[in-house]
Amino acid sequence: MTARARSFGGAADAYDRLRPAPVPEALRWLVPSPDATVLDLGAGTGLLTRALAAEGVADVVAVEPDEAMRAVLAARSPGAPALAGSAEQVPLPDASVDAVLVASAWHWFDPERATAEIARVLRPGGTLGLLWSFPDPAQEWVSQLRAIAHTDDAGKPGPTAGFEIALPAGAPFSVGESEVFRASTWMAVDDVAGMLGTYSTVLTLPADERAEVRRRALAHVAHHVGTDPVLVPFATAAWRAIRT
Ligand SMILES: C[S@@+](CC[C@H](N)C(=O)[O-])C[C@H]1O[C@@H](n2cnc3c(N)ncnc32)[C@H](O)[C@@H]1O
C-alpha cells in the first residue's frame, strides 16, 4: 500500500465522525435485497457497514487492512465481523457472499488482483457495487473548498451519472451501470474544515501545511457561505455490475 492509502488510520476517529456516510438511496440501488450477505471491502471505520445496518441489511462482513480503522469499526459496529485482510487477499471462502460493496476505496486497490478476488468470493448472480461519497462539487463554493485540500480525483467518478468503471479485460461481470444520488447535511463549520483534514492529500502533509489547509477552509466557508452551521451538499456516485 502507498503512504496515502495507509494514511487514514492516523485520523480514524475524525474520519469516522466527519466523513459522509453514503446517501441511503444509493444502498437501496446497490444491494439486491436486505437478506443479502454483503462484504464491505476496504471498510475503514465502518461508515458503510453502519449505513447498511440502518437500511436493514444485517448480514455484513467487513474487511479492512488498517488496524486503527478496523478498531473503530469493531467498536462501533459490534454486530459485524471485522476481518483483517485486503482487496487483493480477501479472507472469505469462494462463492460466499451475495454482494461486494466498496466505498471510497476502489481507487486504492490493485484492480487485476482485487477483481479476481471479488469474482472468487461472489456467488454467480451477485452484485459488485462501487461507490464514492463526497462533498458535491456541483456547487461552486464546494468545488473551491475541495481545491483547498487538493482532493485528488484520479480514478474516481465525478458527480454526474453515466460514468463508466473499466474492470480488467475478461473479468466475469456484466456491463456496469452508474447513478449519482444526492443529499444535503447541516454541519458545523469547524467540522467542515475537520472533514477536509481527513483526505489523504491533507493527512500526508506536514503539520504546518495541514494547519494552513484548515485555516483556509474556515475562511473560505465564512466568506462564501457565512452561516454556522452550514448546509453541505453531498453526492454518492454508485456503479454496479453482476457476477456472471
Ligand atoms: C477513503 S477510506 C474508505 C473507508 C470506508 N470504506 C468508507 O467509506 O468510509 C479507504 C480505505 O481503504 C483501505 N484500503 C487501502 N488499500 C486497500 C486495499 N488494498 N485493500 C483493502 N482496503 C484498502 C484504507 O485502509 C481505508 O480504510
Q: Is residue 218 part of a domain?
A: no
Mutate to test the pocket of ligand 1, among 66, 70, 110 (most ligand atoms within 8 A of CB): 66
Q: Between these two residues, 160 and 60, which has the higher pLDDT value?
A: 60
Q: What is the CATH number for 56? A: 3.40.50.150
Confidence of residue 1 (pLDDT cuts 50, 70, 90): low
15 by DSSP, 3-state: which?
helix
DSSP 9: G
Nearest Cα to 42, choosing from 96, 93, 95, 117? 117
Q: Is residue 178 part of a domain?
A: yes
Query: Residue 159 above 90 pLDDT?
Result: no
With residue 237 as reference, give the H or E element that holds it: strand 230-242
The domain containing residue 70 runs over which residues?
A: 7-135+155-182+234-242
Q: Cell 484548515 belongs to which residue?
A: 214
Q: Is residue 141 part of a domain?
A: no
Distance 227 CA to ligand 1 centre (A): 33
Predicted confidence at residue 242, as pLDDT, reads: 98
Predicted confidence at residue 161, as pLDDT, reads: 87
Q: Which residues contact 61 (CB under 8 A, 6 or more apart)?
A: 37, 38, 39, 40, 80, 81, 83, 92, 97
Convert the pLDDT of each residue in 47-59 to its tens digit.
999 999 999 999 9
Convert the pLDDT of each residue in 176-198 to its tens digit.
999 999 999 999 999 999 999 99
Distance 231 CA to ligand 1 centre (A): 27
Tally of domains in the chain = 1
- Rounded Cα distance between 193 and 2, Å, is 25
As beta bridge partners, residue 60 has 38
Query: Residue 32 above 90 pLDDT?
Result: no
Q: Is residue 224 part of a domain?
A: no
Q: Is residue 23 part of a domain?
A: yes
Query: Residue 22 above 80 pLDDT?
Result: yes
